[in-house]
A and B are shown apart, each in its own frame.
Chain A
Amino acid sequence: MLQSGHNSSLLITRRTLLAATAAGAVSLLAPAHNAAAATRVDVTQGNVQPMPIALPDFIGGTPPDSEPARGVSQVITNNLRRSGLFAPIDPAAFLDKGANFDATPRFEDWRVINAQALVTGRLTRQGDGRFKVEFRLWDVSGGQQLIGQQYFSPADNWRRIAHIISDAIYERLTGEKGYFDTRVVFIDETGPKERRVKRLAIMDQDGAGVRYLTRGEDLVLTPRFSPSTQEITYMSYGQADPRVFLLNIETGQREIVGNFPGMTFSPRFSPDGQRIVMSLQQGGNSNIFAMDLRSKTTTRLTDTPAIDTAPSYAPDGSRICFESDRGGTQQIYVMSAGGGAAQRISFGEGSYSTPVWSPRGDYIAFTKRGRGTFGIGVMKPDGQGERLLTDGFHNEGPTWAPNGRVLMFFRDPGGNAGPGLYTVDITGRNEQRIPTPSFASDPAWSPLLS
């Protein structure tokens, strides 16, 4: 009360002083906003805990189908658990085994075990040998269905269906796009430390279905996925200088990108998949070039006596971040996609390398080296809010999941052990190792397949 009185007296003096601003003053006279009639409570604190979700085994249409049906629900369970945002409940606690897919579940049975969401499903073999997979996602507290869908697929492709269902559940419950229906290319490393055989390999994001793309005569490094086609670009040491190659995963067709006199390396696709941006070594320094894949024309983007490398496009294609030692140590710079002046954005201790722009555009991931350790971190595109997500003897090569929430990188523990692949949430929590058949490095995450 006291305060509002003070306000109005203040106003009156203003008005007498300045008649011209009467209009402005009138707006000040607007009555103070009324307190709501109902009791109001502000809740500003909550939890960010994994959501308890119940995933009873999918039902098989006929007894022989129950094996793949269980497989589908296990892949989904595994995906959701690995995301760190869900806590699948131990099936031993289930009161209701979800025996009937067509009936509404008894929600009381699921409330008792604190499930917030419930997934039921059924897998049936069609007459033509394909699988029909149906699922429903239920909100247990509200007692309603959130989504229900069905998919058809060849019998040997049920893992893909499980990933697609995982994405649907993830997206409906978190509001973000999923990333489970994706693949990862990486460098598979076998053999003793001094004579490693490095092969290009591809697998599902959960480590299943590994397939080798090269035979291992040539050394391959830094594979990168095309955002729009089933192509990858990578660098390979053949007989001559290291060159940037383009490989079609489906057909196995290979070609050299550009016809440059020197060594080309650290390639990466533009967001539309039409261009490749890479480094070209010229004498003691290297510069960044972009090549249009259709017209085969190349554009020089930097022209400095320093080492400019590891370029990465912003998701809208308007800017490029890259690493350069023009300031003395390796730091991250951002410039327009057409070249021109670059702006330094990293100012912390140590040196920064391999910047990668998030598909969401909100962060740039990088490898940071300092005090004898290699860490993976993120910062905003203007250099603010730098955070290290993981740090240790050797962590390198971050790559983003297509939803911009999870990073994959490789970690070498040192000693006689070799590198392995890990994922970490953008919050720095939920670090997970990806199972690979042998040592693995240089991962590159594909866009969503569907």
Chain B
Amino acid sequence: MKTGLTVSTVGHAAVLLWALVSFGAKPHDAPPPDSMPVDIISMSDFTQLTSGAKTAPKAPVPKPLVEKVAEAKPVENPAAKVSDKPEITTASAPAEAPPEPKVSEPKPEAKPAKTEAKPSEAEKKPEPKPDAEALKKDESKKHEPKKDEAKATAPKKPPQPPQPKFDPKQIEQKLALLDKRAPQRHAAAGDVLSSQPTLGAPNGNAPRLSQNEMDALRARLAACWNLPAGAADAKDLNVEVQMLLRQDGSLSAEPKVLNRSANPFFQVAAESALRAIRTCAPFDFLPVAKYEAWKDIEINFNPQYMFRS
């Protein structure tokens, strides 16, 4: 009797526990849906676009626009700046050109003494210091003709200014002219992403694509998407692609596949998704006013519902 009771109690308790754990551990996993804007009338559009404006906290110091994380570009070549000044002066007074560099050059020269050794020798002829240093290293015989050379170069200063004229920017421009490749946009690079702050709070009621606009985009992509029949049979085949767009709706970068799969058809499916995006572009029907919402879109190509056999 007693054993029966204990067995029954333990059994019931076990069943109850199991039920609570197994049923309780799986709540309805329904994340709160994002509120979705509706564009029934233009008024709603208008309110959306302006709603965030007044409450938005103002960023104290606006960071420079950085759209992709990469090594930041060097600011400017200091040598280029130096070269600017002599040019101007030679144009106005070529005779006075020699003294001019004296004023400007010592500053950048202070650190890299080695590279600019020659001009300093030439100009600071009375000052023995750099010469003396050179003397210690060099032989005395060699030094003599060098001094003469320096003397000779000194009066010939006017032809020299063109030499520091070297401007990497100009070369870049010329190269750009020679480059026949299609122009590609270089997104501003930096070590931290910071997009252009828009009017309104970043996540509050920032402009979003309405259902109609999303549907238009979806329909356009579906029309361009041609799934290879082999991949069609593999039903658990999702391809997530990131698409970066310019304001005119064209691709600002190559679309990028975000996920991976061991499925043998994945590569083919991923290529079909990329092909769909490339053939569909430009997406010029998207509203420019909401550019922030569609400049970076994640598209999930999912053939799961296409085939039910």
Q: A: which residues have CB within 8 A of B?
A: 1-4, 7, 10-11, 14, 17-18, 20-21, 24-25, 27-28, 32-33, 35-36, 38-49, 51, 85, 116, 139, 141-142, 173-176, 385, 387, 405, 425, 427
CA distance A131 to B157 in the complex (A): 70
Which chain B residue has the least Cβ–Cβ distance from A430? B229
Q: Can you list 11 residue pairs at the A/B interface with Cβ under 8 Å?
A: A1-B32, A7-B28, A21-B17, A24-B25, A40-B297, A41-B214, A43-B221, A43-B300, A47-B227, A85-B229, A175-B265
Q: B: which residues have CB within 8 A of A?
A: 17, 20-21, 24-25, 27-28, 30-32, 34, 208-209, 214, 217-218, 221-223, 225-232, 242, 264-265, 267-269, 271-272, 274-276, 278-279, 293-294, 296-306, 309
CA distance A65 to B81 in the complex (A): 64
Quick check: B228 and A174 within 8 Å, CB to CB? yes
CA distance A178 to B296 in the complex (A): 38
Quick check: B222 and A46 within 8 Å, CB to CB? yes
- B-chain residues with CB within 8 Å of residue A38 when the two chains form the complex: 242, 296-298
Identify which of A24, A45, A174, A385 contacts B229 (C-beta below 8 A).
A174
- B-chain residues with CB within 8 Å of residue A42 when the two chains form the complex: 218, 299-300, 302
- B-chain residues with CB within 8 Å of residue A139 when the two chains form the complex: 271, 275
- A-chain residues with CB within 8 Å of residue B301 when the two chains form the complex: 43, 46
- A-chain residues with CB within 8 Å of residue B34 when the two chains form the complex: 35
| Shortest beta-carbon distance from B227 to chain A in Å | 5
Quick check: B296 and A43 within 8 Å, CB to CB? no
- A-chain residues with CB within 8 Å of residue B304 when the two chains form the complex: 44
CA distance A43 to B224 in the complex (A): 11
- A-chain residues with CB within 8 Å of residue B24 when the two chains form the complex: 14, 18, 21, 24-25, 28
CA distance A116 to B225 in the complex (A): 12
Contacts A10-B27, A40-B297, A51-B226 aside, 8 further interface pairs with beta carbons under 8 A come to A3-B30, A18-B24, A39-B214, A41-B217, A41-B221, A45-B306, A85-B228, A142-B278
- B-chain residues with CB within 8 Å of residue A405 when the two chains form the complex: 229-230
Which chain B residue has the least Cβ–Cβ distance from A40? B298
- B-chain residues with CB within 8 Å of residue A36 when the two chains form the complex: 298
Which chain B residue has the least Cβ–Cβ distance from A175? B268
Identify which of B31, B221, B306 contacts A32 (C-beta below 8 A).
B31
Quick check: A7 and B296 within 8 Å, CB to CB? no
- B-chain residues with CB within 8 Å of residue A385 when the two chains form the complex: 309
Quick check: B27 and A39 within 8 Å, CB to CB? no
- Known contacts A42-B300, A44-B305: does B227 contact A173 (CB below 8 Å)? no
Main secondary structure on A side of the interface with B: mixed
Which chain B residue has the least Cβ–Cβ distance from A8? B27
CA distance A41 to B242 in the complex (A): 10
Quick check: A46 and B21 within 8 Å, CB to CB? no
Which chain A residue has the least Cβ–Cβ distance from B34? A35
Quick check: A48 and B299 within 8 Å, CB to CB? no
Interface-central residue, A47, A173, A405, by most chain B CB under 10 Å: A47
Quick check: A21 and B268 within 8 Å, CB to CB? no
Quick check: A35 and B27 within 8 Å, CB to CB? no
CA distance A45 to B299 in the complex (A): 13
Identify which of A1, A2, A142, A387 contacts B274 (C-beta below 8 A).
A142
Identify which of B17, B21, B275, B293 contacts A116 (C-beta below 8 A).
B275
- A-chain residues with CB within 8 Å of residue B294 when the two chains form the complex: 39
- Known contacts A24-B24, A28-B27, A43-B302: does B268 contact A173 (CB below 8 Å)? yes
Quick check: A46 and B278 within 8 Å, CB to CB? no
Which chain B residue has the least Cβ–Cβ distance from A32? B31
Which chain B residue has the least Cβ–Cβ distance from A176? B230
- B-chain residues with CB within 8 Å of residue A175 when the two chains form the complex: 228, 230-231, 264-265, 267-269
CA distance A349 to B238 in the complex (A): 38
Identify which of A3, A28, A49, A427 contacts B226 (C-beta below 8 A).
A49
Quick check: A48 and B229 within 8 Å, CB to CB? yes
- Known contacts A42-B302, A46-B303, A142-B275: does B30 contact A51 (CB below 8 Å)? no
Quick check: B209 and A39 within 8 Å, CB to CB? yes
| Shortest beta-carbon distance from A89 to chain B in Å | 14
CA distance A82 to B228 in the complex (A): 15
Interface-central residue, A25, A141, A173, A387, by most chain B CB under 10 Å: A141
